[in-house]
Structure 1
Amino acid sequence: MLRDIPYTLWLMIAGIILIVVTGMYYQTNYKQDSVVMGLTETVRTSAINNADNSSRINPGELYISKDGFEEDFKKRMAANKNVKISETATYEFKYLDNENGATKAIKVLIKDDVNTYQATAKVSVSES
């Protein structure tokens, strides 16, 4: 009975370490997911705000003002409290356009001093 105490203590310590490591992993994963979700929602919101409604000729296609989108996105990111981005961060915007010039998707890369964030959003509107 006394000889099993070290084995039992070792098992308890291993279990506690496993629980702590698992908790830290899920906490980090949750933080990263919420940052990406916040960036994606900011991309979608900025795209909708800068939609060129006068050029909606074909159903389901969305034309956006790219210069206005980029300025609006940077302004929203400066006001966003969920994502901490430094003032010296660089933004890179890539647009996927169809043959008519309508925007299908937007990819934004934010290179901070420490981290690089990426958000991709499919821009779609209802065809009805």
Structure 2
Amino acid sequence: MLRDYASLIWIMFIGIFVMVLLGIFYRIGYTQDATTLGLTETVRTSVIANADYSSRLEQGQLFILKENFEKEFKEKITVNNNVKLSENADFEFEYLENKNGSTKAIRVSIVDEDTTYQATYKVDISDS
């Protein structure tokens, strides 16, 4: 009877240990997902705010003011609560463009000490 308590305690200990590990794993995954979503949403809002609607030649194409976009993105991402950046974070912007210069997609990479954050946003202007 008493020797069953020892095995029961070990099983409970292993169960609690596994639950703690799963909790840590899911918290880390949620943090990474929230960071990626925060970056993507910041890129999207900065693109919309800096669209150059006066230069739209064809429907479905979008030109952006790149300097203003980069400046506004840096301002918005520093106040974003989902992404914690230090003062010396390095930003890199890559633009995929059509032949006429309209923007297809934007990739933003942020290197902050040992961590690299990356978001890619496909600029999609519907025909409607």
Range class of TM-score, shorter chain: over 0.9
Tell me, yes or no, if structure 1 residue 101 matches structure 2 residue 93: no
CA distance in 2, matches of 1:88, 1:110: 10
Tell me, yes or no, if structure 1 residue 27 matches structure 2 residue 16: no
Query: 1:64: how far off?
Result: 0.6
Structure 1 runs not aligned, ≥5 long: none
Aligned-partner residue type, residue 29 of structure 1: G
1:15-94 → structure 2 map (5 Å cutoff): 15-94=15-94
Structure 2 runs not aligned, ≥5 long: none
Q: Deviations over 1:12-62 (max 9, x none)?
A: 110000000001111111111101100100000001111010111111111
Q: Secondary structure at the match of 2:81?
A: coil
Give percent identity, aligned residues only: 53
CA distance in 1, matches of 2:93, 2:2: 66
Q: Secondary structure at the match of 1:73?
A: helix
Runs of 4+ deviating beyond 6 Å: none
Task: State the TM-score, normalized to the length of structure 2.
Answer: 0.95
Aligned-partner residue type, residue 61 of structure 1: Q
CA distance in 2, matches of 1:15, 1:98: 55
CA distance in 1, matches of 2:14, 2:78: 44
CA distance in 2, matches of 1:66, 1:84: 24
Query: 1:79: how far off?
Result: 2.1
CA distance in 1, matches of 2:89, 2:82: 16
